[in-house]
Chains A and B, each alone.
Chain A
Amino acid sequence: MNSASLPTVALGHLLGSMADDEFVIGFSDSEWTGIAPLLEEDVAMSSLAQDEIGHAAALYGLLGELTGADPDALAYDRDPDEYRHARLLDHGRGDWAMTIARRYLYETSDAVRLEALIGGAWPPLAQLCAKLVREERYHLMHINAWFVRLAAAHGEPRDRLVAALEALSADASTVFTPLPGERALLDARIQAAPMAELEARWRAAIAPTFEAHRLTMPPAATSPTKGREGHGAAFAWLWGEFNQVRRSEPGAVW
């Protein structure tokens, strides 16, 4: 595809939303460093969180190449209401079950989204997604192991997972919020299918697990077009945390 026909604006929305998703879940999950349920899981969750920040860096980098923006500025210097991550990721860290439920819903969604981009017609994005998929494979294995263990346990672990899924239910499918200019990405064959279709694929992918463990499937999003805005107090707090160092010494490098 020559650069003249590249739907730059729509591509920017897609890259920005993916980067913000990875950035926010990475920082949110890094909140477990030092306090995860066991030492090995502490290392694992911290390492997974670092992976997500790495994915965000790659996506902001690609967005920067496209628009000329500084990737660090994209990541740190916007106001909270300018971020376009899915509302699913706005729920605070909560207990371990909440983190597992949120990661499960996000990772399974992200896998479907990456699958739709991996064969796309813009090589920089298709190639990056092919790399991300190889790392996300392990993320899926890890989160499946935990999700199924909590779901299959009796008593408190399962009760907490059910409560977490209920708390997340209205925002569960927000990764698939349609983005401005989606039509252009579909016409340019950068994205294989519309978000609505990807959401249906995601539901089909997770339904067997939910059914096997007698869990209630997430309902349709309450405001399907507003799934990446109105981030609320929990995100405002996280935002204050993750750009604290950068704001304390503007322009500092290390």
Chain B
Amino acid sequence: MTDTPPELQPWEVFRQEKDGDPMRHGGSVMAPDAELAVHYARELFGRRQESVRLWVVRRVDVLDLSDPDLLQPPLDRSYKKPGGYVMRDKLAAARAQSGQAKPKARPG
């Protein structure tokens, strides 16, 4: 080791609340190395038994994608969403033609 103190860096912490749940971002901790990052993640996101699993990732290892040209392109994208296809009028016309009633909502 050198005489210069280790520098703190940010680590992102993901937590699973119970078995089967997805991993969700919990927040971040500052730590000089992986071992202490795990200890601090455990204290900040697990000391009250609120997690069954933690993932701790060095922030610089997270691949960031926020380019608007890639994620929010300017042209109409409604045809990529189910809402882009309005089916209500077409369904009503088909029912009228076949003489079928609108199905009732299924219970539950």
Given contacts A47-B43, A47-B47, is CB(A40)–CB(B31) below 8 Å? yes
Does the CB pair B1–A145 fall under 8 Å?
A: no
Q: Which of chain A's residues have a CB closer than 8 A to the CB of B5?
A: 153, 157
A123-161, CB < 8 A from B: 138, 141-142, 145, 152-155, 157
Q: Is B2 an interface residue (CB 8 A)?
A: yes
A6 CB to nearest B CB, Å: 34
Q: Is A35 an interface residue (CB 8 A)?
A: no
Partner of B40, one of A40, A154, A155: A40
> Chain B contact residues: over half helix, strand or loop, or mixed?
mixed
Q: Which of chain B's residues have a CB closer than 8 A to the CB of A142?
A: 39
Does the CB pair A145–B30 fall under 8 Å?
A: no
B52 CB to nearest A CB, Å: 15
B7 CB to nearest A CB, Å: 12
Total contacting residues, chain B, CB less than 8 A: 16
Does the CB pair A44–B39 fall under 8 Å?
A: yes
Does the CB pair A43–B3 fall under 8 Å?
A: no
Partner of A154, one of B2, B36, B43, B44: B2
Q: Which of chain A's residues have a CB closer than 8 A to the CB of B40?
A: 40-41, 43-44
Does the CB pair B43–A40 fall under 8 Å?
A: yes
Q: Which of chain B's residues have a CB closer than 8 A to the CB of A163?
A: none
Q: Interface range on chain A: under 10, 10 to 19, 20 to 34, or 35 or more?
A: 10 to 19
Bits for A151-188, please: 1 = Cβ < 8 Å to B, else 0: 01111010000000000000000000000000000000
Does the CB pair B3–A40 fall under 8 Å?
A: no
Q: Is B91 an interface residue (CB 8 A)?
A: no
A116 CB to nearest B CB, Å: 27
Q: Please report the C-alpha to C-alpha distance between residue A146 and residue B4 in the assembled complex, in whole angstroms.
A: 16
Q: Please report the C-alpha to C-alpha distance between residue A155 and residue B1 in the assembled complex, in whole angstroms.
A: 11
Q: Is A200 an interface residue (CB 8 A)?
A: no
Q: Which of chain A's residues have a CB closer than 8 A to the CB of B29?
A: 40
A131 CB to nearest B CB, Å: 14
A160 CB to nearest B CB, Å: 13
Bits for B78-97, please: 1 = Cβ < 8 Å to A, else 0: 00000000000000000000
